[in-house]
């Protein structure tokens, strides 16, 4: 297997240390050296293609990246401020088992998230309704 470049390894370390997915800009802020964004995007693409990282959009134009974990990822995403909170209750196993049986399909992973409004943003959304 091809060895990870220094930049790819640093990015992977940043993703593994974060409990929540990060944007490219957030990843760049955490890097000691500041490579151009295209280098970071190429590194993230490689990490995704090799199964070391995955991305999710939360229904926005922005992609968020996290390391691939043994346990599936579960998040709460605020549609207003785009804050992300991880939660560790996995109730999807029963659904997964049923889907696999009914569809003759082997599920290897999932990313599960809810969108809504965090405690700080909820009052602003009530005003706009």
pTM listed for this prediction: 0.80
Element (H, E) at 24: helix 24-30
- Three-state DSSP state, 74: strand
Neighbours of 52 (CB within 10 A): 18
pLDDT in tens, the chain (129 residues): 567 899 999 999 999 999 999 999 999 999 998 899 999 999 999 999 999 999 999 989 999 999 987 666 789 999 999 999 988 877 778 888 999 999 999 988 778 889 999 999 988 776 554
């Amino acid at each position: 297997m091809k060895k990870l470049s220094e930049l790819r390894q640093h990015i992977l370390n940043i993703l593994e240390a974060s409990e929540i997915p990060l944007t490219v800009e957030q990843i760049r802020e955490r890097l000691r050296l500041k490579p151009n964004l295209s280098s970071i995007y190429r590194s993230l693409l490689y990490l995704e293609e090799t199964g070391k990282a995955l991305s999710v959009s939360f229904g926005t134009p922005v992609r968020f990246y996290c390391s691939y974990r043994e346990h599936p990822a579960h998040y709460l995403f605020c549609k207003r401020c785009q804050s992300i909170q991880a939660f560790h209750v996995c109730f999807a196993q029963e659904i997964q088992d049923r889907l696999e049986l009914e569809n003759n399909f082997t599920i290897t992973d999932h990313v599960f998230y809810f969108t809504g409004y965090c405690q700080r943003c909820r009052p602003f959304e009530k005003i706009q309704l």
